[in-house]
Structure formats: C-alpha cells, structure tokens
C-alpha cells in the first residue's frame, strides 16, 4: 500500500505527462510492492521555499506497510531524488522525503484494513 505524496512549487504545466506512471514503476522496483497497491500523488504549484529560495523544491512523504528501514530508505531516497531531478529539475539538496512505516491495522482499503482477521 505504498502511498507517495510529493508537494512541489514546480508548476503543473512542467510536470511531464508520464510522471505518475514512471514514478509508480520506480516505486515497484525500489520498494518491492505490487503496482496495483501503489499510489502516487503530486501536488504542484505550491507556494513554498527551501533555504530562503523559491527555486524548484519539493517535500515528499512515503507511507508503506513494511519494506522500510535504514538501508531501504537510503536506497529509496537516492532513486527517488535522482528521478525527481531528471523529470522535474528539483535538485536533491532542495528536497526532503519523510518515511512512515504503517501498521496493517491502521490502513483501510476495500472495505476493511490490511490487518489479517484473527
């Protein structure tokens, strides 16, 4: 159930048409979760600055049930920030990504949660 949200001051017209699909495929590769559960949410045109400058910047949040940890987060950070630099022109020095490892019982989907019934 990975859910990736990216807030950015990059304007909507500068977001490539394939950004959602290429980012989803990247998440499949680096977080090892099925594509049908991955959500990518981009919120462009934000009024934001980083380090006192309004040059392109971003703030990302990734929530997943598992597959997160020190080594995994470093791998995800590197791959995602390289992707965002290539596609949106946001330098890795102008962006954060925050990780949240959710418990199965705290994520609802398809009329229930991901927690197994006991």
Element (H, E) at 75: helix 70-88
Cα→Cα distances 9→21, 84, 106, Å: 20, 13, 30
Total domains, the chain? 1
pLDDT at res. 90: 98
Instruction: With respect to residue 77, please indicate whether it lies within any of the assigned structural domains.
Output: yes
CATH number at residue 66: 3.30.429.10
Instruction: With respect to residue 118, please indicate whether it lies within any of the assigned structural domains.
Output: no
Instruction: With respect to residue 11, please indicate whether it lies within any of the assigned structural domains.
Output: yes
Model pTM score: 0.95
Residue 81 is part of which domain span? 3-113
Phi, psi of 18 (to 5 degrees): -95, 10
Catalytic residues: 2
Task: Give tens-digit pLDDT for 42-83.
Answer: 999 999 999 999 999 999 999 999 999 999 999 999 999 999
């Amino acid at each position: 159930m990975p859910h990736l949200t990216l807030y950015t001051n990059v304007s909507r017209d500068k977001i490539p048409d394939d950004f959602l699909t290429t980012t989803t495929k990247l998440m499949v590769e680096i977080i090892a979760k099925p594509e049908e559960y991955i959500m990518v949410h981009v919120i462009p045109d934000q009024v934001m600055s980083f380090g006192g400058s309004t040059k392109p910047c971003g703030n990302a949040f990734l929530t997943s049930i598992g597959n997160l940890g020190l080594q995994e987060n470093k791998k995800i950070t590197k791959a995602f920030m390289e992707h965002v630099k290539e596609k949106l022109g946001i330098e890795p020095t102008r962006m954060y990504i925050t990780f949240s490892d959710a418990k199965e019982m705290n994520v609802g989907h398809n009329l229930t949660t991901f927690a197994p019934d006991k």
